[in-house]
Amino acid sequence: MINLDETNFKHRDINWLAFNERVLQEAEDVENNPLYERLKFLAIYSTNLDEFFRVRVSQLRQLKRVKKKIRKELSLRPNKIVKEIKKTVNTQQERFGKVFRLHIIPELKANGIHLLTSKLYTEKHDAIIDGFYEEKLKPLLEVTVVNVKQGDIFLQDQALYFYVLFKDTQKVGFVNIPSDKINRFLELYEENGAHYLTFIDDIIHHKMQDIFPAETIRGIYEVKISRDAELYLDDEVDGILAERIYESLKRRHRGQPTRLLYDASMDKEDAKRLRKLLKVGKVDMMPGGRYHNFNDFFSFPDPTDNPKLHYQEQPSIPHSTLAHTDDYFTALKERDHLVHFPFMSFNYVERFIEQAAIDPDVTEIKISLYRVADESPLTSALLKALDNGKKVFIFIEAKARFDEENNIKWGRKFEEKGAVVIYSYPRIKVHSKILLVKRKEEGKNRRYIYIGTGNFNAKTSKVYADHGFFSANKKLSKELDRVFKVLQGDLIVPRNKHLLVSPFTTRRTFEKLIYDEIEYAQAGKKAEIKIKINSLEDKEMIQLLYKASQAGVKIRMLVRGFSSLVPGIEGLSENIYMTSILDRYLEHGRIYYFYHGGEEQVYMGSADLMTRNLDRRIEVLVPITQPNCKKELLDILTLQLEDTVKARIQDAVASNTYVGQQDENKTAIRSQYAIFDYLKNKHT
């Protein structure tokens, strides 16, 4: 195997920042994205960065506690990585601020939407603001005065505060901005077609002298702290993991600081005083703009209801078979079927479970839930199945980050109704999206299955681009039943020849398939691999892909998020071409293609080429063999690989150059819109 070093193996966290830059590019794309959609991309960028600091940067901080000698032996350089992260984020934050100030705000104004700062308030505004402040805002404020030398203050994770400076430098004030309890934006009034809005931040800023009547205020600055979001549960768990996770959620809000975001206009000495007061290291100080928590812009109101400021709505494409049947069981016995979200409705999955819940011949329903939706047709159907006396087995991943509390809450609901519910395992997550329905037919059990790339969640299915596979194939359904028996604790290792199941067969099968392509190439035959995934980090797989490239295998990759592989390096990876698509929907599907001497092998499922997905998670990938389904999935993959509008080239320097910019003569293909047209033509 090739010995990977810094020149041919990218650090995942550094390359993740290149992914978030692509989100920022979408906020800058005036030509293709309407105003409110660009505003949402700023919100996505901000949300992504918050989670990055709470999870990834916090892990780097934990590594700093490891003895220097051990870090050196393991080639761990957390200090260097954190400094590089900070430098890159600072540069991106400057771009972020420019987009908001120089483009978003003026365009809002041009469309009759005025977002007023406190400096622009007039007597007319004061009359509205005063009443709102007294009635709605003031009761939610938490005001604290701290002695700089003797005092102590704790700021909640992700919460917004004003850091208030007084003429008396021996003390400072803190005031919360209760955006978690009240809408961040207030619509003031409409006049002659112009709509006036303001941040609640500005209202509080405007009222600060009333809040501190005895003080002379010399500065008011917004700040936000991000804390370590890991739960750090012990590996050795007992039978009450869900309870322990539930209790551990409280630690998230008390975790170690990983970033202090502050207004960059603050004087250096005042920033230093703040840092010491909050016991934050220099490396964790992150200058920003006047406002923080841009994820609130997901709910920024559009008082104009102007359709031109938003994406044109795409109607749901009816599936050529499933949309016209009330009997899924007959349809699936005839052949396999694929569904594609968000182009098609998630209702097809919900209807399948609803039919199973009321069918008198259905005896069992088994499902794995990674992120449980709130009250929905799917959860209602599972509860109805229990009411109708069906055996329902539900595996709930209690360790799905940031969804732990909701998952456990729903698990308890299902348990109360009589379902068999299992929560997680030590050292392993269940990330597969699988469903099995068992039905009595002519005295025998017949199994029907669904395997997806995305969660069983109708809400996310509207914004995540995913694929789902329905089948009554006896071999596949028998093997999926074995996977559920592993989850139930009835089997240790599932025997399977067709499904790829991590951590049992996925790595081994992919290695064999890649080595087969290497042999074809070495024999002078056509050898080709196409892979579409979210993330690529596993060193062994990267080494093998490099080896395949060196053997002459043509490798085409589409990686949405971060990648530790460096494509296009002569003598190493010149036969690997990689792009990344970021557009209206979040690309979330995983597809693997191997030419295999003309006997094309195609897999679809939940696993990325990450060590955790191959070795530490239960993942399921299904071979797509039915001709109609295989052609449909490969046609979609081809459109994505040919994207010239939203595809960025992934190169050694993470330049994020648009494919169309490199070759302006290429036909403009925006794959998500081309896929919509393709599916519409095929299914209707």
Q: Residues comprising the binding site for ATP?
A: 48, 464, 560, 588
Per DSSP, 55 falls in state I
**Which one, of 356, 418, 334, 380, lies nearest residue 626 by Cα?**
334
Annotated binding site for Mg(2+): 371, 401
Gyration radius of the chain's alpha carbons: 27
| 320 neighbors 612 (Cβ within 8 angstroms) | no
| 406 neighbors 381 (Cβ within 8 angstroms) | no
Annotated binding site: 48, 371, 401, 464, 560, 588
Active site residue 431: yes
Helix or strand (DSSP H, E) at 203: helix 200-206
Q: What Cα–Cα distance (Å) separates residue 134 from each residue in 129, 139, 141?
A: 9, 8, 11
Q: How far apart are the first and last CA of the chain?
A: 50
Please state, in angstroms and rounded to a whole number, the distance separating the CA atoms of residues 541 and 552: 17
Cβ neighbours for 13, distance < 8 A, ≥ 6 positions apart = 52, 56, 57, 60, 81, 85, 562
Q: Is 389 left (phi over 0), alpha (psi -120 to 50) or beta?
A: left
* Assigned token pair, 513: 């398939």
Q: What Cα–Cα distance (Å) separates residue 541 from each residue in 9, 515, 569, 618, 620?
A: 12, 11, 17, 18, 18
Q: What angle do CA 369, 374, 380 make, to 5 degrees?
A: 80
β-partners of residue 174 are 144, 163
Please state, in angstroms and rounded to a whole number, the distance separating the CA atoms of residues 178 and 198: 15
Among residues 431, 467, 596, 683, the one annotated as catalytic is 431
Catalytic residues: 431
